[in-house]
């Protein structure tokens, strides 16, 4: 393997994530060292897993997308007609893509919310900090199905908690997840709520890495808490914010479970709220059209790569590695 | 450089999670590890079902089978409905499937075409059961080219369930078997309360429980007899659908489709929000186990249209060709649909046993309901419409009919669009 990839950030690596970027200095030892055999052995395990569980299925998916047949008769390579069918169903696919991107964009709003909460929890002298952190983390360790069921009751148009509250204060009531105008947004709110805990933990770790001295210096210069947050904390937190954003978008592009549980198959809002992975599920597992499912899965891969690439391109403008 | 690599790693990892689900080598479902094999030795069979409700009855049936077949033991494998068909399909294709499994008429075409089912003719002949004692239309679902691949273990029909308490409160006489759909509308209007707390009837978009019945009653059909074209664009089919959409959008005697998406119709019925609901005999056990429903509900035959019709459906038991013990598996599949099994199903009130002479036990299981209504209708039963690949078009019904249910589109338009999509799916099916 070429070892020319040490052009990254010098000393202080981004505080959270990005793996082994700032690892120990390279050793220039001769190859015969027994360490190398160990290293090869230990690397072989994850690498083998990668090949068996990721690369091989990926290859099979690509082949399946050019095949025809059924699960029982087996699949044979047959050319481009599945891809052609994708374009014939262009409207459905396009709508699902737009819905997915809208959902991802809304859930991204959860990042600033998590930042504010992380900063509040980071305040010195706060009592019960770990209690709050646990509290915010509860949705993350709760089964998505359970979360979706509870929220389904909250949003219920006839008996829901949300409508009860809105009714009491004279607000507008409606069938939140059965109305095509609101369903996607209602689900996105749950998406934000569920992702809050993970975002919070990563951002809190990032906050720990912001040097106290800078905060104190800003304080001596007369900066108030809000000014300190925006001028000192946020810029130093950008690497964590970036990581959280990338993870949030990738997670959102895969959204399926909330939609599946909260809307259900005969929901009038489904057509306007379907995400790309939901479309994949319908084709591959409801209509048993695995080849078309494979095509949609590959489209998802390409879209995920493209969106993530854009994010990495943009990060140069706003992420500061101190 | 570094960022590009991280990018690829992150995106690929995430995207591959989706892709991994697409491989055709999905979850294996236990399997037939068959013990030491060989005839006269220990034989272990696996039996797959999707109903935890029926497990007690099934266990009882299997105990009898094990007693009659020394050396054979059967393990029940319950796969939830949402995963059942994809698990059965992938595990069967991968050769790791169960030995015997539940099958529906809507699904069996794919399995017969795939050649993964064992013919049961020999085992059936050996069992001494009489084929004429089963409902004929249901037997036909599982017979292909003269070969029997399954026998119906039970059947269900649709009836008009009603809430006596709400009828009494409104001073309306209970429905009778000779009601017409106009009677339903008039009485539903009398039962509906203006404040929205009670609706006369539920009109969910549920093919088996609602609009299939009225389409056939109006003289229409969902799919042509030869299985090649859609019947949705016929005036009769449109009339059969319009009955339900009018209940919501014209007569305002049913909650909306939105409301049913939030709270399913059966739950609304059981909470006293609906005075009537058309649904199947399979809910008898659930209503009987609920105090309010058990006290207040009763059932009668479906109202009639131009003709009488009710959708009839049943579950079959198939033996899979991948089994290591074909003889025992076939025998088990037949036994599970046999007279003994049928009687146990009925006696426990689980489902209506399909073997003639065992139905009375089902009626006696819950004397608080007039379950005889389900049997009386069976002669007008229209079997749940299917084709070789039913899912390809059945999954489109909800998609296209939604706009008719919400009133955004006329029933004619929605039905015409559905017919187009269905004809396209059928054309592809017949081409394969």
Write out pLDDT tens, residues A225-239: 888 888 888 999 999
Whether the pLDDT of residue B15 is over 60: the answer is: no
pLDDT of residue A5: 40
Mean pLDDT (whole number) for B218-234: 94
| B23:A61 CB<8 A | yes
How many residue contacts between A and B have a Cβ separation below 8 Å? Answer: 169
Choice among A99-113, A137-151, B325-339 with the minimum mean pLDDT: A137-151
Q: Residue B16 has what pLDDT?
A: 43
d(CA A266, CA A271): 10
Query: Residue B25's pLDDT is what?
Result: 37
Mean pLDDT score of chain B: 89
Q: How many CB atoms lie within 10 A of CB B88?
A: 24
**What does the pLDDT look like over B152-197, one tens digit per residue?**
999 999 999 999 999 999 999 999 999 999 999 999 999 999 998 9
pLDDT for res B175 = 97
Q: Do A73 and B13 touch (CB under 8 A)?
A: no
Residue bearing the bigger pLDDT, B41 or A59? A59
Q: What percent of chain B has pLDDT over 90?
A: 77
Q: What is the pLDDT of residue B20?
A: 42
Secondary structure class of B152 (helix, strand, coil):
strand
Question: For position A4, what pLDDT does the model report?
Answer: 40
Instruction: Report which of A283, A291, A296 is spatially closest to residue A73, judged by C-alpha positions.
Output: A291
> Is B2 within 8 Å of A21 when comparing Cβ atoms?
yes
Place of tokens 């909650």: B255
Asked if A71's CB is within 8 angstroms of B24's CB, the reply is yes
Residue A225 burial (10 A CB sphere; 0-12, 13-18, 19+): exposed
Instruction: Give the list of residues 6+ apart from residue A297 with CB closer than 8 angstroms, or none.
Output: A61, A65, A280, A284, B15, B18, B19, B21, B22
Q: State both tokens at B152.
A: 């119906």
Q: Note whether A197 contacts B: Cβ–Cβ < 8 A.
A: no
Mean pLDDT on B396-411: 94
A309: contact with B, CB 8 A cutoff = yes
Which chain B residues are closer than 8 Å to A71 by Cβ? Answer: 24, 89-90, 92-93, 114
- Mean pLDDT for the stretch of residues B391-412: 93
Residues of chain B neighbouring A18 (CB-CB closer than 8 A): 2, 6
Asked if B338 and B332 count as a contact pair (C-beta separation under 8 A), the reply is no
Q: What is the pLDDT of residue B432?
A: 61
What pLDDT score does A32 carry? 64
Q: What is the pLDDT of residue B1?
A: 40
Touching B: A residues 220-259, CB under 8 Å:
246-247, 250-251, 253-254
Q: Is it the case that residue B21 has pLDDT exceeding 50?
A: no
B265 in contact with A, Cβ within 8 Å? no
pLDDT, residue B230, reads 96
Chain B's closest residue to A267, CA to CA, is B261
pLDDT digits (tens, 9 = 90+) for A144-200: 889 999 999 999 999 899 999 999 998 889 999 999 999 999 999 999 999 999 999
pLDDT digit string, tens, across residues A40-94: 999 999 999 999 999 999 999 999 999 998 888 888 999 899 999 898 888 889 9
Q: In terms of DSSP bridges, do strands A74-77 and A67-70 run parallel, antiparallel, or are they unpaired?
A: antiparallel
Name the CATH architecture for the domain at B43-156+313-355. 3-Layer(aba) Sandwich (3.40)
Instruction: Name residues 15-44 of chain B within 8 A of A (Cβ).
Output: 15-24
Contact B241, B234 (CB under 8 A): no
- Give chain A positions within 8 Å (CB) of B391: 286-288
- pLDDT tier for residue B331 given thresholds of 50, 70 and 90: very high
CB contact under 8 A, B89 and A288: yes
Confidence of residue B306 (pLDDT cuts 50, 70, 90): confident
pLDDT above 80 for B239: yes
For A294, name the nearest residue in chain B, comparing CA atoms only.
B22
Q: Is domain A90-318 in CATH 3.40.50.300, yes or no?
A: no
* Chain A residues within an 8 Å CB radius of B257: 178, 266, 268
- The answer, for B260 touching chain A at a CB cutoff of 8 Å, is yes
Predicted pLDDT at B224: 94
pLDDT-based confidence at residue A125 (cuts at 50, 70, 90):
confident
Measure the CA angle with vertex B203, ends B201 and B204; round to 5°.
135
Considering only residues B236 and A128, tell me which one the structure prediction assigns the higher pLDDT: B236
A268 to chain B: nearest residue by CA?
B402
Percentage of chain A beyond pLDDT 70 is 90
Domain boundaries, chain B: 43-156+313-355, 158-311+384-431
- ipTM comes to 0.81
Q: Residue A53: list chain B partners with CB under 8 A.
A: 20
A239 near A319, Cβ under 8 Å? yes
Q: Which residues pair with B223 in a beta bridge?
A: B230
A175 touches chain B (CB under 8 A): yes
CATH number (3.90.1170.50, 1.10.3720.10, 1.10.1740.10, 3.40.190.10) of B158-311+384-431 reads 3.40.190.10
Query: pLDDT exceeding 70 applies to what percent of chain B?
Result: 91
- Read off the pLDDT band of A25 (50, 70, 90): low
Q: Dump pLDDT digits (tens) for B84-93.
A: 998 999 899 8
CB pair distance less than 8 Å for B258 and A178: yes
In chain B, positions 108-137, which contact chain A (CB-CB < 8 Å)? Answer: 110-111, 113-116
Cross-chain residue pair A268–B402, CB shorter than 8 Å = yes
Edge-first strand listing for the sheet containing B43-49:
B72-78, B43-49, B100-104, B315-319, B151-152
């Amino acid at each position: 393997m070429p070892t020319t990839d040490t052009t990254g950030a010098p000393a202080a690596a981004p505080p959270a994530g990005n793996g082994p970027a700032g690892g120990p200095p390279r050793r220039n030892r001769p190859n015969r060292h027994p360490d190398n055999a160990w290293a090869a052995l230990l690397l072989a395990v994850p690498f083998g897993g990668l090949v068996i569980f990721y690369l091989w299925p990926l290859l099979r998916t690509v082949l399946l997308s050019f095949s025809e047949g059924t699960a029982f008769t087996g699949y044979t390579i047959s050319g481009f007609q599945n891809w052609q069918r994708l374009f014939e169903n262009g409207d459905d696919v396009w709508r699902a893509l737009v819905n997915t991107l809208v959902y991802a964009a809304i859930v991204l709003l959860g990042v600033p919310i998590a930042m504010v909460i992380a900063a509040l929890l980071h305040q010195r002298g706060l009592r019960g900090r770990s209690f709050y952190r646990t509290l915010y983390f509860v949705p993350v360790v709760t089964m998505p199905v359970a979360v979706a069921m509870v929220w389904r009751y909250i949003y219920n148009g006839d008996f829901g908690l949300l409508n009860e509250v809105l009714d009491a204060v004279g607000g507008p009531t409606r069938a939140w997840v059965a109305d095509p105008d609101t369903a996607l947004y209602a689900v996105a709110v749950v998406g934000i709520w569920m992702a809050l805990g993970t975002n919070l933990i990563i951002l809190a770790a990032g906050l720990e890495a912001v040097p106290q001295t800078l905060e104190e210096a800003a304080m001596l210069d007369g900066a108030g808490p809000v000014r300190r947050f925006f001028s000192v904390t946020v810029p130093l937190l950008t690497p964590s914010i970036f990581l959280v954003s990338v993870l949030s978008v990738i997670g959102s592009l895969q959204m399926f479970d909330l939609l599946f549980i909260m809307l259900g198959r005969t929901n009038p809002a489904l057509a306007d709220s379907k995400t790309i992975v939901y479309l994949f599920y319908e084709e591959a597992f409801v209509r048993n059209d695995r080849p078309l499912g494979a095509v949609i899965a590959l489209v998802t891969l390409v879209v995920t790569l493209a969106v993530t690439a854009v994010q990495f391109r943009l990060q140069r403008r706003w992420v500061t590695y101190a | 450089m570094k960022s590009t690599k991280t990018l690829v790693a992150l995106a690929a990892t995430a995207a591959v999670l989706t892709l991994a689900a697409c491989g055709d080598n999905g979850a294996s479902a236990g399997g037939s590890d068959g013990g030491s094999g060989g005839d006269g030795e220990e034989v272990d069979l696996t039996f797959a079902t999707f109903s935890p409700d029926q497990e007690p009855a099934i266990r009882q049936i299997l105990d009898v089978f094990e007693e009659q077949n020394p050396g054979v033991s059967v393990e029940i494998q319950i796969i939830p409905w949402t995963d059942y068909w994809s698990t059965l399909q992938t595990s069967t294709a991968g050769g790791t499937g169960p030995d015997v499994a539940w099958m529906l008429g809507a699904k069996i075409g794919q399995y017969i075409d795939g050649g993964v089912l064992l013919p049961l003719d020999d085992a059936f002949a050996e069992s001494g059961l009489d084929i004429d004692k089963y409902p004929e239309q249901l037997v036909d679902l599982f017979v292909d080219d003269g070969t029997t691949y399954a026998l119906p273990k039970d059947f269900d029909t649709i009836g008009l369930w009603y809430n006596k308490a709400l009828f009494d409160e409104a001073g309306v006489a209970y429905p009778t078997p000779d009601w017409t759909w106009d009677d339903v509308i008039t009485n539903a209007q009398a039962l509906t309360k203006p404040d929205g707390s009670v609706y006369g009837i539920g009109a969910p978009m549920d093919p088996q429980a609602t609009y299939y019945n009225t389409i056939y009653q109006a003289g229409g059909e969902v799919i042509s007899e030869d299985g090649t074209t859609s019947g949705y664009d016929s005036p009769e089919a449109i009339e059969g659908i319009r009955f339900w959409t009018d209940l919501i959008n014209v007569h305002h005697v049913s909650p909306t489709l939105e409301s049913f998406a939030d709270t399913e119709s059966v739950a609304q019925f059981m909470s006293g929000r609906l005075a009537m609901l058309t649904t199947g005999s399979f809910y008898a056990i659930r209503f009987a186990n609920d105090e309010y429903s058990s006290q207040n509900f009763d059932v009668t035959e479906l109202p009639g249209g131009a003709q009488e019709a009710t959708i009839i459906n049943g579950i079959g038991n198939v033996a899979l060709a991948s089994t290591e013990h074909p003889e025992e598996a076939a025998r088990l599949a037949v036994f599970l649909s046999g007279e003994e099994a049928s009687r146990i199903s009925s006696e426990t009130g689980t489902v209506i046993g399909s073997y003639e002479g065992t139905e009375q036990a089902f009626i006696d299981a819950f004397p608080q309901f007039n379950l005889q209504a389900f049997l009386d209708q069976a002669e007008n039963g229209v079997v749940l419409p299917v084709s070789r690949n039913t899912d390809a078009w059945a999954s489109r019904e909800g998609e296209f009919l939604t706009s008719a249910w919400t009133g955004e589109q006329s029933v004619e338009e929605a039905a015409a669009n559905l017919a187009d999509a269905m004809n396209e799916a059928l054309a592809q099916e017949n081409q394969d």
